[in-house]
Structure 1
């Protein structure tokens, strides 16, 4: 069965899915009454965080995150050429006043 299945799809191995996820974005937009142009689909939060950093951060910018935040924040900030600013937490919670002061 596996060999038959492989033969059946062999001619389509060069076909890739739509990288814009147009049909998915349109379906989500229809269900929720949104504009599909305002919806982004990705391979997970990691990819979206990277896209956001590359879009909004420039060399010399500073980006603030809490000390125990998701590790990729610092990585993507640095990859964009910006300066990561880790803010201490209070009782293992984000300290909003410290973030605003950073």
Structure 2
């Protein structure tokens, strides 16, 4: 059975809060989203928005609804916080550089 838990923590910047969501399968972490709730200066917009900084799902659990479950919880939290806009930049796969031997 899959479950998702969320933690929120303040940042040093006024009007910003970071959030970490972790999806687990039988107590083992299988996915994570780190997001930031922020307000832009009024010159741009008065809307609060959510910026997803990082998102990862273990390869064995991809295409099984893990990210969708975490995103649903984030949308719930965003709606409660008054955010209506999401910003997400994607890198599909990140490869580590080869280490010299």
TM-score exceeds 0.5: no
Mark the structure with the bigger radius of gyration.
Answer: 1
More helix by percentage: 1
TM-score normalised by length of structure 1: 0.29
TM-score normalised by length of structure 2: 0.29
